[in-house]
Amino acid sequence: MQTLYVELGARRYPIFIGNQLASHELLADYIISDQVMIVTNDTIAPIYLQQYQQQLQTLGKTVASCILPDGEKFKDLNHLNMIFDALLTHRFNRDCTIIALGGGVIGDMSGFAAAAFQRGVAFIQIPTTLLSQVDSSVGGKTAVNHPLGKNMIGAFKQPEAVIADMAVLATLPDREFSAGMAEVIKYALLGDADFLVWLEQNMDAIMQRDAELIAQLVLRCCAHKAAIVARDETEQGDRALLNLGHTFGHAIEAHMGYGEWLHGEAIAVGMVMAAHLSQLNGWISTADIDRVRHILKRAHLPVLSAAIPVDEFLAHMAHDKKVLQGQLRLILLEKLGKAIVTKQFNPSDLETVISENQAVAII
């Protein structure tokens, strides 16, 4: 097991990365409350819920669970209320702990519930997808979706700990694994050119689920995110770089209906669009764009959007959280391995990028 820490001034919390981490020791060290609510979904619950319930009960905890339907389309206020219903039904108090046992959707909803229930209770992330292990479980951004925009309603809520168990990835479907690789590639593109080279050298083995390589890439991504969050916890500056491809990708998700495209699939296309706009700005070459497309394809990710009218695509982008004083800011690439937040782009180039990176049908 390897341990990283997210340093937040007077506060810090650990990220544990390893195999078979579903142990009494970690849970005992980071769950000091007597009441524990495990929030999971109906895909994960049959596989992992019972073992965590039994372990916590062995520790003398009062354990309840809230099982949500699986999927991005259920990441909304109505289903968030199911968590509050469960907490109140079981008479949980403000000393309770919420455990997020699942992927990014479960982590986001559990964290938001923890931020809001009785004005804040403790929570722990146990991410069960590659995407959540390398990205969404770390950093404390929690939210639910609105029909007009993704992650528009939420709060910052840091976990007490993140337990990234590589063993759970054995049951992860191939499509979900690929979606997680989009966020991995994002870290390389936005700030680590050497990591991009490493991914290019090892992609075939990674996609064949080489456990040692996967542990290395999870560690590297978490180290990048921990460093950025330590500098900018509430996204006032550098942390926005973590949204490379996301403004474009969120537009695809919102237009197609949440869950039709996996988050990582939409972000993959978004990164291609960001690279294309960067090239039109004169910052990177067409060869660089080809390199971005190639690494994404090797991870079995799409590089073209579904066919979406440009005006509708732009309307979705206008709801992005990075819009300030009515002006859209985007994360673009000065070079592969270095991203910036900028409003310096030609609106007509943006329209060109959207129209030229679409397919006739969903990829």
**The one catalytic residue among 61, 150, 220, 246:** 246
Place of tokens 């524990």: 36
**The one catalytic residue among 150, 157, 239, 329:** 239
Q: Is 263 a catalytic residue?
A: yes
**The one catalytic residue among 263, 293, 316, 321:** 263
Q: Is 61 a catalytic residue?
A: no
Residue 315: both structure tokens together:
């309307």
Euclidean distance between CA atoms 217 and 135, whole angstroms: 11
**The one catalytic residue among 61, 186, 220, 250:** 250
**The one catalytic residue among 72, 160, 176, 183:** 183
Q: Is 79 a catalytic residue?
A: no
**The one catalytic residue among 145, 151, 243, 357:** 243
Euclidean distance between CA atoms 1 and 269, whole angstroms: 34
Euclidean distance between CA atoms 123 and 38, whole angstroms: 10
Q: Is 357 a catalytic residue?
A: no
Estimate the crossing angle of helix 263-280 against helix 174-191, to 10 degrees: 30
**The one catalytic residue among 72, 160, 235, 265:** 235
Coil vs helix vs strand at 121: coil
**The one catalytic residue among 141, 186, 276, 329:** 141
Q: What are phi and psi of 276, to 5 degrees?
A: -65, -45
**The one catalytic residue among 61, 157, 225, 255:** 225
Place of tokens 């994002």: 186
Count of other CB atoms within 10 angstroms of residue 201: 10
Euclidean distance between CA atoms 151 and 130, whole angstroms: 20
Helix (H) or strand (E) holding 359: none
Q: Is 209 a catalytic residue?
A: no
Count of other CB atoms within 10 angstroms of residue 255: 18
Contact at 8 Å (CB) between 33 and 122?
Answer: yes
**The one catalytic residue among 11, 25, 78, 119:** 119
Euclidean distance between CA atoms 38 and 53, whole angstroms: 8
Residue 312: both structure tokens together:
């509708």
Q: Is 246 a catalytic residue?
A: yes
Q: Is 239 a catalytic residue?
A: yes
Please name the residue ranges forming H helices in 121-210. Answer: 130-131, 174-191, 193-207
Place of tokens 């060290």: 29
Euclidean distance between CA atoms 127 and 352, whole angstroms: 38
Q: Is 250 a catalytic residue?
A: yes
Q: Is 119 a catalytic residue?
A: yes
**CA distance readout (Å), 341 to 60, 101, 118, 329:** 49, 33, 36, 7
Please identify every residue annotated as catalytic: 119, 141, 183, 225, 235, 239, 243, 246, 250, 263
